[in-house]
């Protein structure tokens, strides 16, 4: 049995379904487990739901009890009154790792992100790096998974770009649009994590990037080509984006956040020195997968 924290989220749902497809039993731990009911292909004996909050030690302990593997796919993109980047990515991650060790779980998969850096000036990026360190301290044999920016049918990355390209003749660029990106298909990332829990031994760190590296401007052009639309791109300084994101974060569903702007200032490309998709026998799919799935 594998316990998945954040199992009803964008990536978590894919991890859960792939684990089920591989014949494993899954315990989904989420603050809102009812969101997962009815969306997974599974028998009742394969799947169970548990209400859990990664800030609650007792609930975490109950979730990981008896688990062979534990996956922490919990993330935070906008800080609020109750949760900060540090409380979720560092403190809660360490808490899950500690309980996984105490329950004698054989494997722990911690989902971080490419670019995680404990020395960064960005609170979001720094918390990701500090979280990795905290997890390793609590569970030395943990596997760290760093996906590149992910896309999928319900993502918050490619779908907004598609909407803009369809409706707006002029698009603003992040800076000069030169940041390098290696988008990863969320279904491939879910499959990779499922294979990590079925393979032995596993690597200490995986960086999962798609088959193509684009500059941001090249990515917009590639998406536009798939849509059959050509647009004019206008460079916009990152300082202006930060101001817009600050305002947007007061909305219930912000279209952009400051941490997204910070991430767009650094290249998001998998290191060739790290294990990746091909280490697990996976041929990653490019953004074409999005357009194929939308036609089916």
Q: Return the ∠ at Cα 102 (arms to 79 and 5), rounded to 5°.
A: 35
Q: E strand or H helix at 225, and its extent? A: helix 216-227
Residue 34 has a pLDDT of 74
Q: Are 139 and 100 in contact (CB under 8 A)?
A: yes
Helix, coil or strand: residue 56? coil
User: Domain ranges in the chain?
Assistant: 2-151+183-211+270-284
| Cβ-contact 230, 169 below 8 angstroms | no
* Domain 2-151+183-211+270-284, CATH: 3.40.50.720
Give the closest residue to 131 by CA, choosing from 153, 146, 151. 146
Which regions in the chain score pLDDT beneath 70? 42-44, 199-201, 293-296
Report the pLDDT value the prediction gives residue 293, as an integer from 0 to 100. Answer: 61
Res 238: pLDDT: 94
Spell out the residues 6+ positions from residue 228 whose beta carbon is closer than 8 angstroms to its own.
Answer: none
**236 contacts 175 by C-beta, under 8 angstroms:** yes
DSSP 87: I
Q: What is the pLDDT of residue 81?
A: 81
pLDDT at 52: 86
């Amino acid at each position: 049995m594998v316990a998945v924290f954040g199992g009803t989220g964008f990536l978590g749902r894919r991890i859960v379904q792939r684990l089920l497809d591989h014949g494993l039993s899954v315990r989904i731990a989420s603050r809102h487990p009812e969101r997962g009911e009815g969306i997974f292909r599974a028998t009742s004996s394969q799947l169970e739901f548990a209400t859990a909050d990664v800030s609650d030690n007792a609930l975490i302990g109950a979730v990981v009890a008896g688990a062979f593997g534990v996956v922490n796919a919990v993330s935070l993109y906008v800080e609020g009154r109750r949760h900060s980047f540090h409380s979720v990515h560092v403190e809660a991650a360490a808490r899950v790792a500690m309980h996984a060790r105490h329950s004698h779980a054989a494997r722990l998969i911690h989902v971080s992100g490419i670019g995680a850096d404990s020395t960064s000036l960005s609170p979001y990026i720094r918390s990701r790096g500090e979280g990795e360190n905290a997890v390793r301290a609590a569970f030395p044999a943990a596997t760290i998974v760093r996906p590149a920016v992910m896309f999928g049918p319900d993502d918050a990355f490619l779908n907004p770009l598609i909407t803009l390209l369809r409706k707006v003749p002029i698009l603003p660029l992040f800076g000069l649009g030169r940041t390098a990106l290696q988008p990863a298909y969320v279904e491939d990332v879910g499959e990779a994590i499922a294979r990590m829990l079925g393979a032995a031994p596993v690597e200490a760190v995986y960086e999962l990037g798609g088959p193509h590296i684009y500059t941001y401007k090249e990515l917009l052009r590639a998406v536009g080509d798939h849509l059959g639309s050509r647009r004019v791109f206008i460079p916009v300084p990152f300082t202006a984006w930060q101001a817009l994101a600050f305002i947007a974060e007061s909305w219930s569903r912000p279209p952009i956040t400051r941490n997204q702007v910070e991430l767009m200032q650094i290249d998001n490309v998998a290191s060739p020195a790290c294990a990746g998709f091909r280490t697990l026998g996976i041929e990653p799919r490019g953004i074409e997968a999005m357009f194929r799935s939308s036609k089916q």
